[in-house]
Amino acid sequence: MNECYEQEILRYSDPVFKRIKTSVLITMKDSPRRSEYLKQLCKFRPTARIIILHNKGFATCQKPEWVNSTAMDLWHANITSLQLTDKPVLILEDDVEFLESFTRHAAEIERFITNKDVDIYSLGSLPLLSIPVNRDHIRMYVGGCAHAWIYTESGARKMVNAKRVIGFHDIDISSQLRTYVGREPCAIQKLNNTANSKLWNFANLPITYFRCFGDKTFAIHQLFGLFGGLFGGLLLVVSCIFLIVSLVSHY
């Protein structure tokens, strides 16, 4: 194990996922969130084995030269997580919040990733560009704000070789891997100001926008995913307005 990380192992006898044997929860060493994430893991028991990966961080531990920000540090931690166990594996961030829907959809999610060409499956995201593949699952071409990813063997292999195009972990990964998300979120995060949010929360507009939807943010935006995602939906609306204006002008 890299000296920048320490492992802690938890085991549960009656996990929600049956085929996915291991989760890795990424957290900073001495994180103040410890009581919250332990409560989540104990209540929902996602897999039989959970590796808590304590990250010492690039500021206090020597990592590759490209790890020069909190976003790149998280990228490195994800790559490290994928090297710890067999796949498929559930990768979690320490502010993940499972929903009761997780227990309802877990068996269907495991069936789907086993029988489909899936690289990565999000338990909760904000789809930006997407298309539904059936009533339960959405192909997400670009998406963000995921804190619970299931990596298959192919997805883990591609993740290690993925390019850091714009530096936003979720967008870079979802756009390069064959990515899916459910119609209903199973795990979410609170959209608050953090060290990482400074990279994408321009003028505080994104978080202000998401707060308009409150606790329903992920549920509403995953429904948007059925209609092209946030960007796809906006394009559809603009196209409809243009068509209506054109028809009105013609007559």
pLDDT of 237 > 80? The answer is: no
- Work out the percent of the chain whose per-residue pLDDT is above 90: 64
What are 178-187's pLDDT values in tens digits?
999 999 999 9
What pLDDT, on a 0 to 100 scale, did the predictor assign at position 238? 55
Domain that holds residue 70: 5-250
pLDDT band of 202, cuts 50, 70, 90:
low
> Which band of pLDDT confidence, cut at 50, 70 and 90, is reported for residue 176?
very high
User: Region 169-190: what's the mean pLDDT?
Assistant: 93
Query: What is the count of structural domains for the chain?
Result: 1
What CATH number does residue 60 fall under? Answer: 3.90.550
pLDDT at 206: 62
Parallel, antiparallel, or unpaired: how do β-strands 97-98 and 126-132 relate?
unpaired
Look up the pTM and report it: 0.89
The structure tokens 């069936």 sit at 111
Contacts of 173 by beta carbon, 8 Å cutoff, 6+ apart: 120, 149, 159, 162, 179
Distance (Å, rounded) from C-alpha 210 to C-alpha 191?
8
Give the residue-averaged pLDDT of 218-228.
89
What's the pLDDT at 205?
65
Residue 141 CA to residue 225 CA, distance in Å, equals 10
User: Does residue 197 have a pLDDT over 80?
Assistant: no
pLDDT higher than 70, residue 250: no
**Does residue 195 carry a pLDDT above 90?**
no
Type of residue numbered 31:
S
Mean pLDDT of 210-216: 77
Mean pLDDT for the stretch of residues 15-19: 97
Q: Give me the pLDDT at residue 191, please.
A: 65
Going by pLDDT thresholds of 50, 70 and 90, the confidence category of residue 111 is: very high
Q: Where are the alpha helices (DSSP H) in 21-125?
A: 34-44, 70-82, 101-115
What average pLDDT does range 112-117 have in this prediction?
A: 90
